[in-house]
Amino acid sequence: MAPRLDFSNWWTKDTQKGTPVVVKMENPAFSVVEINGADAAFRPVEKSRGKNAKQVTWVLLLRAHRAVGCVTWFATVLWALLGAIKKRLIYGQGVAMESESDKLEKGKLLFRVIRVFLVTSLAVLAFEVVAYLQGWHFGNPTLHIPRTSDLEGLLHLAYVAWLTFRAEYIAPPIKALSKFCVVLFLIQSVDRMVLCLGCFWIKYRKVKPKINGDPFKSDDVEGSASNYPMVLVQIPMCNEREVYDQSISAVCGIDWPRDRLLIQVLDDSDDESIQWLIKEEVSKWSQKGINIIYRHRLIRTGYKAGNLNSAMSCDYVKDYEFVAIFDADFQPNPDFLKRTVPHFKGNPELGLVQARWSFVNKDENLLTRLQNINLCFHFEVEQQVNGVFLSFFGFNGTAGVWRIKALEESGGWLERTTVEDMDIAVRAHLNGWKFVFLNDVKVPCEVPESYEAYRKQQHRWHSGPMQLFRLCLPAIVKSKVSAWKKANLILLFFLLRKLILPFYSFTLFCIILPLTMFVPEAELPLWVICYVPVFMSLLNILPAPKSFPFIVPYLLFENTMSVTKFNAMVSGLFQLGSSYEWVVTKKAGRSSESDLLAAAEREAKSIEQQKIHRGASDSDLMESQKLVENKEAAPTTVKKTNKIYKKELTLAFLLLTASIRSLLSAQGVHFYFLLFQGVTFLLVGLDLIGEQMS
């Protein structure tokens, strides 16, 4: 039966009134009429009723149109997702096949464990669906187990046996593990809140490192340059075809006396074409009067640590007091050294000045936006608070200035881990050196735009600290620093923020939560699943308020990344082969608008200088032409492919299976969380987030 559109009775009232109305006129041409209420012929009810019905009809049509649009959009997204699943899982189109070496990679044991959980959950789900269709009551922790005399058939007896076995043997260990993880979760949440309170206090009191006076001011005009200390700038790189020229150009544009500055381009590239391109770039700036040298190692031992250690062994390094380090994708502003080096003056205990990163491609895609949230919290909250209250934090490996004496007294760069930056920071801290973090000095750089590059970066960032923890724990215990500094290093710096965080994130939200759907006696409370994680995500997103609309994707994606972080943490803690793996993060070579303008100005100046230096030999011209041809021929047609990540896909099916089980027991929040988390794992497992890898 079609719905009636007559809604006028909802808002109209009876207009009958009992007060009579008398109309008097002079020289009336007609008789006086006493009207006692409106006559039926003059009532505007029908007109009003028709008008309101049309309005309601249009409102309903508009709402129906919106509803159809939403359903169409949802159907389009679902159809595209199913198409991507079919293309990748069934036909294998556009999917990179793993090589033999990749098949022997780390994580085999973790993948097998997740696969066992998936197979078991599917079997239990099928069994309980049959029980649900039979009308048996299940899913309540205080459920009533039917008596055997009330049941008929072997399936009923098996179901009762399963309920008894589940309540007596499976639920207790899951409860114990979940309580342990919840305690770790709360401890880590308290630590995060304390850091945020410290950041609020810094903002409220406007605390930041200050420079006393003008360190470069001199009464002697001719000898004013002597007030500038000798600074060595190092640019370590390896096969950085996309960004080598940007970093070299930015560093060569630093405002510092040329006779007090030396730039080292430390190239570990194994591609000869890239080596020639970098040599040409160095030669170009050397001809402009910049003190810049090119160094290349034939054997890439120790990765970045070996590269830096080799450069510091040069004889001329003893003439320099400070060393600034920039990775190949970093583009420091011209005033970088003038805003960082003066902090060392009058502070002989200061060993490191660390600047903050900014990102030129943070709005490129969803993956870069989520990375921006994490890194903004890391710098503005973690690094700033630790720098103000403890004078210690982990060196970020780039965009920092070291006192060379601090490096030498701390043992220099060691090749024992893949986190050489954290290694030297811990050893310098144990030797009594202090650190300063400058939140207002930002150095533009890139974040990975593809999930494959981001995944490899996160694996190195989480396996290296655990590997370092094993190596430096005896040195921390035997050091002469205070007990408070030892406790901070062991409990907070390493255990809580590097080990406990990935452990409970993966165990609690990716393993225990789906298991509790099949073992309702161990169900997690709502505040663990919803309230506390959302509150923690709000705290994480505060340093990047423009990213507030991405709070839900951020929460889901962080839980998804816990698989990679947990696997990396285990490999580093137990010294597995993958803990020594170093893969250079793929860059896109993007620049900010200010960088492009500066590059245009430098190009215009170089054209003017080329008019003066036209006396080059024929051999030089031929070599330059050859290099230009190599540079133009290099970026030929590149095939982009997706990868399939088995652990993420298996967990996606596990979570979606658990969501179906929660739907049977009518658990609202649990169902939505498991559903959205499973879809997130599915998108990541099919490599549908971020750019495709070349």
Catalytic residue among 267, 329, 421, 687: 421
Pair 586, 691: CB distance under 8 Å: no
Q: Roughly how many angstroms between the first and final C-alpha of the chain, as a whole number? A: 59
Residue 261: alpha-carbon gap to chain centroid: 35
For the beta carbon of residue 280, count every other beta carbon within 10 angstroms.
18
Instruction: Give me the amino acid identity at 418.
Output: T
R_g of the chain computed on alpha carbons:
34
H or E stretch at 231: strand 231-237
φ, ψ of residue 259 in degrees (nearest 5): -80, -5
Tokens of 533: 């994680």
* 3-state SS class at 322: strand
What residue has token string 């972080």? Answer: 565
Q: Which residues pair with 437 in a beta bridge?
A: 354
Which strands sit side by side in the sheet containing 261-267, from one edge to the other?
A: 292-296, 261-267, 231-237, 322-325, 400-403, 350-359, 434-445
What does the alpha-carbon distance between residue 565 and residue 330 come to, in Å, rounded to a whole number?
Answer: 25
- Known catalytic residue at 363: no
Q: Is 268 a catalytic residue?
A: yes
Please list the helix, strand and coil fractions of the chain in percent, rounded to the nearest 5, in that order.
60, 10, 30
Block residue for tokens 């030089």: 620
Q: How many CB atoms lie within 10 A of CB 642?
A: 20
For tokens 């215009």, name the residue: 604
Q: CA-to-CA distance for 270 and 674, rounded, in angstroms?
A: 46
Note the residue count of the chain. Answer: 694
Rounded distance, CA 334 to CA 346, Å? 24
What tokens does 354 get?
Answer: 């660390």
Output DSSP code: residue 666.
T
* Rounded CA separation 109/131 (Å): 33
DSSP string covering 500-511: IHHHHHHIIIII
Closest CA to 679 of 662, 654, 661: 654
Alpha helix (H) residue ranges in 331-379: 336-340, 366-377
Alpha carbon 84 to chain centroid, angstroms:
24
Give the integer Cα–Cα distance in Å for 408 and 303: 19
Which of 268, 327, 423, 687 is catalytic? The answer is 268
What is the DSSP-derived secondary structure letter of residue 300?
Answer: -
**Degrees (nearest 5) of the Cα angle 682, 684, 687?**
110
Type of residue at 619: S
Tokens, residue 262: 């030396």
Per-residue DSSP letters for 291-351?
-EEEEE-SS--SHHHHHHHHHHTSGGGGG-SEEEE--TT----TTHHHHHGGGGTT-TTEE
Tell me the CA distances in angstroms from 302 to 308, 350, 420, 469, 555, one per residue in order: 9, 27, 10, 18, 36
Whether the Cβ atoms of residue 574 and residue 560 lie closer than 8 Å to each other = no
3-state SS, residue 440: strand
Active site residues: 268, 421
